[in-house]
Chains A and B, each alone.
Chain A
Amino acid sequence: MAEHIEHAAHAHAAPTGFIRKYVFSLDHKVIGIQYYFLALASVFIGMFLSLLMRIHLVWPGVSLPLIGEIKPETYLSLLTMHGTFMVFFVLTTAPQSGFGNYFLPIQIGAPDMAFPVLNMLSFWTTFLAFLVAIAAFFVEGGAPLHGWTGYPPLSAVPSAGPGEALGADLWVLSIAIFCVASLMGALNFITTVLDLRCKGMSMMRMPLTVWAWFITAILGLLAFGVLLSAGILLLLDRNLGTSFFIPGGTVVNGTLLNHKGGSPLLWQHLFWFFGHPEVYIAILPGMGVASQLLSTFSRKPIFGYKAMVYAIMAIGGLGFVVWGHHMFMSGMSPYSAFAFSLMTMAIGVPSAIKTFNWLGTIWRGRVHFDSPMLFAVGFVSLFVSGGLSGPFLAQPLLDIYLHDTFFVVAHFHLIMGVAAIFGIFAGTYYWFPKMFGRMMNEALAQAHFWLTLIGTYAIFMPMHYEGMAARPRRYSQLTEVGWLQQLTGVEKFVTYAAFITIAAQFIFVFNLFWSMFKGKKATDNPWNATTLEWTTATPPPHDNFAGVTPTVYHGPYEYSVPGAPNDFVMQTDPTPHGGHVPSEDKPLAAE
């Protein structure tokens, strides 16, 4: 392999002390793992809260050990914190900051992120945000009631309910801190991709995972600043008497508030200008992973690499002009509703391009259904199932009926929640050998996959029907409502399914930790994949390539190249067909 050794002595030395190595580490790989475990802790918090909600929905009077009876306002706190942990600390954290941190530099042949110190700061700032969010549970009045979307006036008036006092302040603060951390992370990702690619790694030779992380970082850079300013305005309204969001004449608990003239809609605009790109921040990295895995495990090049790149860009770009589809009920002008509706439908085009390209990739491939591949296929399945309800919700006329029903809950859980989680699982099973040097147990992984796939469909599919039966969202007690009695059976079914699905996640966690210590030793390239992380040692050394900067000669998906001796050609292979030079061919030149 033609790699050039180059001022290796210059590379920063690996740290030795425990604190510098594992706690305040500057190494992107350690930071990536830190993010990953933060997300893992958060997903269990989020799942636990959702289980409490599900229990309360079907047995409202039951008193749980340690927790007691769940009051209606407690249900709203659970709801808020469930959504907050899932969206921010799981879906924004694991796919982008976790895997992105670990593998983006390696996949472009860089020794680290562009700004390692900033990278460390981003993680610890995120961790601070996490602690502040946790603190909201334990203060007087408990966690806020306003949902992850934090709509004012509820979110802006401390006297509006028990959790709206200090708990809500901590919530806003946590989100604001999270925004700052994400901005620092985004800056680092973008600079790294633009400036640290190794020789030969042109933009169009980057793996689609890198493209996804790159575009996600751009979305983050443009979106988090907006949420940050909205958060600051909200904190001022809550604590310093301003009236950005609180309208005049607001009466809370019989008391007329002193605020006047604010606009609750202003919050909705700012929030959703962030919020819609945020759902793509959650899902794009999963799309990258799915593309990578479908190609690798079908032993075929990705179908339409360029189309995939442009589709990611189009989704990212259109994502900024559709936020109004969350606000059809706000009394907006029918003309703007129409425009938002049209733009939203337009996102269907690049999404369909991606879906068809994924199908085209596995079409007639020699598909290996290892666990990473199963989750990648599961990702596509969930993306399609969840995506199909999108065009319904995108039509104002239908949304007026479906808005704030469980139809929406079903839609966003499938397409954003669980699909992105499947992306995380796929990434975990795929990259675990590289990260920890051992293979995960395949039998457990397969069991985990089937239970999770069937379980999530069992939880979220019936919610569509409940939504069409006008079962409202964010309501704690349905058992008293006459016209919802008929749904009791479905509600019970969903709760049982949630129990089983959540239990199945313990298989995953067991597998994760067990394999870390007891798994079969992994080779450097267990999946016969082509990208740069598989050219280096397992786990990779401190500066990723042990002082050797790789040179890239190929695109990332050269599988089953005709005439090649292997069915994969490493990106670093200088020969046209992977170790096999027909007499008429000359070795390649790096671009």
Chain B
Amino acid sequence: MPASLELEKHGGGGGGRVPPPRGGDGGGARGDDAPDFRERLNRYRLGMAIGLIGVIMVFVSLTSAFIVRQGTTTRDPNTGIETVDWLPITLPTSALVLNTLLLMASSVALEMARRSLKRQYAVAEAVGDSEAQAPAPWLAISVLLGAGFLAGQLFVWSELRRRGVYLPTNPSSSFFYLLTALHGVHLLGGMIALGYAQATAWFHRSIAQRLLVVDVTGIYWHFMALLWLYIFGLFQFVK
């Protein structure tokens, strides 16, 4: 469930009309104007929360595969001895810690971007779009930090390859490449959404539109940061 919307009521901000009944609004899904902004924001947040459940299921099932595969034994037909072929993977931890910090910083920057946009939105509502001053470039900073994380992950991969650890080398490395790749793909999706939010600024689309994208992508982005901590933890503690 989405958190309740923190945008405080500001004079006439709602367009000065009676709020529509829960959801029963005609064009909410498509319109781009301020009046039903809250409603749209809540709907998008709800959709994002539900979508994340789908993403969680992907990673939950991969975790269960991870654990099952870890304990899978192979029986030698000649000797009858059961062996486990899983070898714990040795990761370039310091590089990964650095990446983690980049991603966390990116998350924080995005939260800053969201807050400053929210303020800008409030000002624009009160005194008009043109008066609201441009926010600090938090959005760009966040995307850059995210890109830094991805570059760092690529570095980790090349480091592993340099040590001769490839995707099929061992099930542990298979899982490492797979989970980091899937996580990276998800992050890329988030970056495209943020890039879109940035682009709306250049095309002079309404601040509301941008706030909407940044707010909802923010939920996703923070979740991706947590997911990364989870994946990192899996390889540190369940190897």
The contact string, 1 if C-beta is below 8 Å from chain A, for chain B 48-84, is 0011011111111110110011001010010000001
**Which chain B positions have C-beta within 8 A of A222?**
53, 57
Give residues 264-301 of A contacting B (CB, 8 Å): 266, 269-270, 273
Q: Find out whether the CB atom of A7 lies under 8 angstroms from the CB atom of B171.
A: no
Question: Does B20 sit at the interface, judged by CB under 8 A?
Answer: yes
Interface size class of B (residues with CB under 8 A): 35 or more
* Stretch of B24-32, B101-109, B126-134, B230-238 lying at the A interface: B24-32
| Interface residue? A91 (CB, 8 A) | no
A240–B51 CA distance with the chains assembled, in angstroms: 29
B92 at interface, CB cutoff 8 A: no
Residue contact A7 to B85, C-beta cutoff 8 Å: no
Contact A199 B22 (CB under 8 A): yes
Query: Cβ of A197 and Cβ of B23 under 8 Å apart?
Result: yes
B88 interfacial by beta-carbon distance below 8 Å: no
Chain A contacts for B137, CB-based, 8 A:
none
Contacts of A549 in B (CB 8 A): 20-21, 24-26
A249 with B77: in contact, given A6-B26, A225-B58 (CB under 8 Å)? yes
Q: How would residues 210 to 236 of chain A score, 1 for a CB under 8 Å from any chain B CB and 0 otherwise?
A: 000000000001111110111011001
B20 touches A243 (CB 8 A): no
Q: Is the CB of A12 within 8 A of B27?
A: yes
The yes or no answer to A444 lying at the interface (CB within 8 A) is no
Mask of A235-262 contacts with B, CB within 8 angstroms, 1/0: 0100011111001110000000000111
B180 within 8 A of A: no
Contacts known (A225-B61, A242-B167); A11 close to B26, Cβ less than 8 A: yes
Are A187's CB and B68's CB within 8 A? no
Q: Which residues of B contact A415 (CB under 8 A)?
A: none
Establish whether residues A263 and B69, one from each chain, have CB atoms under 8 Å apart when the complex forms: yes
Within 8 A of B (CB), among A530-565: 543, 547, 549
Inter-subunit contact B72/A266 (CB<8 Å):
yes
B26: contacting residue among A114, A199, A233, A547, CB under 8 A: A547
Instruction: Say if the beta carbon of B200 comes within 8 Å of chain A.
Output: no
With the chains together, A198 CA to B72 CA distance in Å? 52
Q: Enumerate B1-44 residues with CB–CB distance to A below 8 Å.
A: 17, 20-27, 29-31, 35-36, 42-43
In the complex, what distance in Å separates the CA atom of A249 from the CA atom of B85?
13
> Are the C-beta atoms of A270 and B65 separated by less than 8 Å?
yes
Q: Residue on A with the closest CB to B43?
A: A195
Cross-chain contact A229 with B74 (CB below 8 angstroms)? no
Find out whether the CB atom of B68 lies under 8 angstroms from the CB atom of A263: yes
Chain B minimum-CB-distance residue to A547? B26
Among A104-112, A138-146, A149-157, the stretch in contact with B: A104-112
Q: B95 contacts the other chain (Cβ, under 8 Å)?
A: no
Report the Cα distance A242→B56, complex, angstroms.
23
Please state if A229 and B30 are interface contacts (CB–CB under 8 Å): no
A241 in contact with B168 given A114-B43, A248-B74, A266-B69 (CB within 8 Å): yes
Residues on B with beta carbons closer than 8 Å to the beta carbon of A547: 26
Residues of B within 8 A of A225 (CB): 54-58, 60-61
Q: Any chain B CB within 8 A of the CB of A485?
A: no
Q: Is A196 an interface residue (CB 8 A)?
A: yes
Whole-angstrom distance between the Cβ of A47 and the nearest chain B Cβ: 32
Contact among A109, A116, A247, A269 for B30, CB-based, below 8 A: A116
Residues of B contacting A114 in the complex (Cβ-Cβ under 8 angstroms): 29, 43, 47
Number of interface residues of A (CB under 8 A): 58
Q: State whether the Cβ of A194 lies closer than 8 Å to any Cβ in chain B.
A: yes
State whether the Cβ of A10 lies closer than 8 Å to any Cβ in chain B.
Answer: yes
Q: Tell yes or no: A397 within 8 A of B by CB.
A: no
A273 to B59, CA, bound (A): 14
Contacts of A261 in B (CB 8 A): 72, 74, 84-86, 171
Near B by CB (< 8 A), chain A positions 134-186 give 183, 186
- Residue A190 lies at the interface, judged by CB distance under 8 Å to chain B: yes
Complex contact B26–A248 (CB within 8 A): no
**Known: A229-B61, A236-B174, A260-B85. Contact between A10 and B26, CB under 8 A?**
yes
Residues of A contacting B23 in the complex (Cβ-Cβ under 8 angstroms) = 110, 195-198
A247 touching B54 by the CB < 8 A rule? no
Question: Which residues on B sit within 8 Å (CB–CB) of A183?
Answer: 51, 54
Partner of A187, one of B25, B36, B51, B62: B51
Query: Does B178 make an interface contact (CB < 8 A)?
Result: yes
Inter-chain contact A229/B65, CB cutoff 8 Å: yes
A63 within 8 A of B: no
A330 at the interface (CB under 8 A from B): no
Report if A191 contacts B (CB, 8 A). yes
Closest B residue to A217 by CB, please name it: B50
Q: Which residue of A lies closest to B44 (CB)?
A: A115
Q: Give the 10 A-B CB pairs with smallest separation, nearest first.
A: A225-B57, A241-B168, A11-B26, A261-B85, A199-B21, A196-B23, A12-B30, A225-B58, A226-B61, A10-B27
Q: Name A's B-contacting residues (CB within 8 A).
A: 6-8, 10-12, 26, 109-116, 183, 186-188, 190-191, 194-199, 221-226, 228-230, 232-233, 236, 240-244, 247-249, 260-263, 266, 269-270, 273, 543, 547, 549
Other A-B contacts than A198-B24, A262-B72, 5 sampled, CB-CB below 8 A, are A7-B27, A7-B35, A12-B29, A26-B30, A261-B171
